[in-house]
Amino acid sequence: MGDPSIYSSPDVYEPPAGNLEQPVFTDARGTIHRIVLDGVKINLLSTKKGFMRSGDLHKNTQFDFVFSGKVELWLRKDGNDVKTIYGPNSFIRITPGIPHLFHFLEDTIMAEWWDGPFKAWYYKPYRDVIDAQFKQMSAK
């Protein structure tokens, strides 16, 4: 589990209101379909090779399942970035309070959900990487 004091860090902030609630969100990276099934929020993501997503953290456990493609997951643990690659049929469990970022190495289809009410906080160092990379990839 991450350090609960991270939420008071100047590197952690709440995303803009409504930014994570659109039922379908599409941009240059791909598409996110957001559904609620029996009270569980589930995101279905289609993301193009080379792009990044997330750069956030949660107070509950996040689960991900990779249906197809390949993704490199960055986790910020004890001041270090731990990077692990996952492929098709991979199940991922991200503990509460751990900043994470997904870097898509191939076109990827995956799902994500949480073990409690969904709420995200952005982690500035990862969001800065995502924003810079998004601008660069979108310009191509």
Question: pLDDT by residue (tens digit) across 47-64?
Answer: 999 999 999 999 999 999
CB 55 within 8 A of CB 101: yes
Q: How far is CA 49 from CA 10, 90, 119, 126, 135, in A?
A: 31, 17, 27, 18, 15
- Residue given tokens 């409690």 in the structure block: 116
Q: What is the pLDDT of residues 84-124, one digit of tens each?
A: 999 999 999 999 999 999 999 999 999 999 998 889 999 99
CB 85 within 8 A of CB 105: yes
* Global pTM value: 0.91
Write down the architecture of domain 4-139 according to CATH: Sandwich (2.60)
CB 12 within 8 A of CB 57: yes
Q: Which residue ranges make up each domain of the chain?
A: 4-139
